[in-house]
Chains A and B, each alone.
Chain A
Amino acid sequence: MSMDEKKLEATSPGELAERDFLDKLEGAFRSNIHVAVSLRNLIHRLAEKALMRGIGRIVIMDFCGTHEWSIVHFGIRSLMPRNVELVAGPGCPVCVTPSKYIEYAVKLSFEGITVYTYGDAYRLRSLRPINSAYSLQEARSDGASVQVVTSFIDAIRLANKSGRESVFLGIGFETVAPGYAVAFKKNIVPGNLAFLSQVKLTPPAMRLSLELLMKENLDYRFGVIAPGHVSTITGAKAWSFASEEMGIPVVIAGFEPIDVLIAIAEILRQIVNNESKTVIEYRRAVTWSGDEEAQRNINEVFTTIDDAWRGIGIIPRSGLELSDRYASHNAFEKYSLKRISSDDWEYDLPRGCKCGLVTLGKAKPTDCPLFMKACTPDRPIGPCMVSVEGTCSIWARFGGGGLADEVARSLEVY
């Protein structure tokens, strides 16, 4: 099985280029220490000012696996002043895919329907077994028809070729949604390929996690590092509710460590000056209104629904379902699968797993007694350890020692 996985990993398009890119990014950061040092010093000065103004604790939340990766990988947490805490929020679509829907996919795969899935969803474990399989991976080793793909277009190509009845497990946030939408709109999805939509929307989840944090920590101040890629589609306007209604500074940041440090400095500056604005640091790719055609395509192909988030519950208007026009492609309709409603939602994480709390930023991976003991990247128990975007997996892979420490140590030379 592990050889199988290695092969799958090695063949995914773009991944080699990704690794290469990240290696280079890392090189750049290493050689770019002095900018990081001045930003770090600025952050410390601003944090002191905040203390002098009577602001005790400042919690800054990121909403994107890539930001969290950058924070962990480059050791940015260890550079923060004592009164500034960086917390990871909902940034992992695979992590919040309900157990029930994995069970649906497993069930379909045993009924002779080919299930196309991303590599991390392939390994997601459900609460209950179907034919004794707890995941699509286990279903496949029991002879069910499951195939790992790296994109929807791969699934379309394969389904076209095979002509067999098949389903794509369509996980994602606003970033992939326009890609899914365009495929339906341009009519390139073959009739034999159904779509099990697990597309989730980030702003409602951001609102929920901020509300929860604010309620529990009345005297804290908050800031948001908003996701760069989601914002290229939604535009910066999608987050203005946080700055305008909730009084929380928002900075849309790029992914390089310097981008993240700049975002933190800007958030602290706003807090010290009692401002709350939505600011675009990631000007290379983000505008205020976003990509309007992509938004139109999403609205044409999908409708917004109250959606179930694993371990969290139903969040109002937080998911996308194929609209009636595309009902013949909708796997829920085609196979009479029931969407989870608030009446029948049940807590669906494995016993002891705190992934729901981790996703909401209410717990750190290290708060989970299973973290790196029973639950490791090789033998993940909860979804936050399965997905490469999950906070537990990011902390496990990049959190301990290594580059983070090294960079942090060299940055302490000031």
Chain B
Amino acid sequence: MCWGVPGVLIDMEPEKGIARVDFGDGVPREVLIGITGERLERGSLVIVHAGVIISTIDEKGLVETYSLLSDLMREAGEQEDEGMRSYYDYLLRLSRQLRGGDSS
């Protein structure tokens, strides 16, 4: 019950306070919505702790974390971390896909 993990909100039942979240492995898992429901929608990027959504981050937040690090790495002449990139890419792609699907 330790770390906060980023994931993508797949769907939710606000009347029950429940949502399903993909943590990057393609398997949606049930969690409780601990925060203001209005901030959540299909495709939201969320941080989950012990099965409870404790915050949302925006794309910028997720991208910032990644791009800050990769910029710094490039500057330092380091190789980029492919694994990390694909993990962030998956979450980002899924998040966009779901939100795009909703607004159309």
| Chain A residues within 8 Å of B, Cβ to Cβ | 13-14, 16-18, 20-24, 27-28, 31-35, 65-66, 69, 94, 118-120, 150-154, 157, 171-172, 175-183, 185-186, 188, 228-229, 232-233, 255-256, 284-285, 291-294, 388-389
A256 to B72, CA, bound (A): 15
Q: What string of 1s and 0s marks CB contacts (under 8 Å) between B58-69 and chain A?
A: 000100110001
A22 to B5, CA, bound (A): 10
Count the A-B residue pairs with Cβ separation under 8 angstroms: how many? 169
A188 to B72, CA, bound (A): 47
Main secondary structure of the interface of A (DSSP, over half): helix
A20 to B79, CA, bound (A): 19
Pairwise interchain contact A293-B81, C-beta atoms closer than 8 A: no
A153 to B36, CA, bound (A): 18
Knowing that A14-B29, A179-B32, A186-B17 are A-B contacts, what are 5 other residue pairs whose CB atoms are under 8 Å apart, sorted by A's residue number?
Answer: A18-B3, A31-B76, A178-B54, A179-B51, A285-B61
The listed residue (A31, A185, A188, A255) touching B78 by CB distance below 8 A is A31
A285 with B47, Cβ < 8 A, contacts A34-B76, A291-B55 known: yes
Which residue of the partner chain B has the closest CB to A69? Answer: B2
Which residue of the partner chain B has the closest CB to A23? Answer: B83
Pairwise interchain contact B2-A389, C-beta atoms closer than 8 A: yes
Please provide the chain B residues from 1 to 24 with a CB less than 8 Å away from any CB of chain A in the complex: 1-7, 15-18, 23-24
Pairwise interchain contact A153-B31, C-beta atoms closer than 8 A: yes
Interface residues of B, count at CB 8 A = 48
The listed residue (B31, B36, B69) touching A28 by CB distance below 8 A is B69
- The 6 A-B pairs at the shortest CB distance, nearest first, are namely A151-B51, A179-B52, A17-B23, A178-B34, A179-B32, A182-B17
What are 10 A-B pairs with beta-carbon distances under 8 A?
A: A14-B48, A16-B23, A23-B83, A69-B2, A150-B51, A176-B1, A176-B49, A188-B16, A293-B35, A388-B2
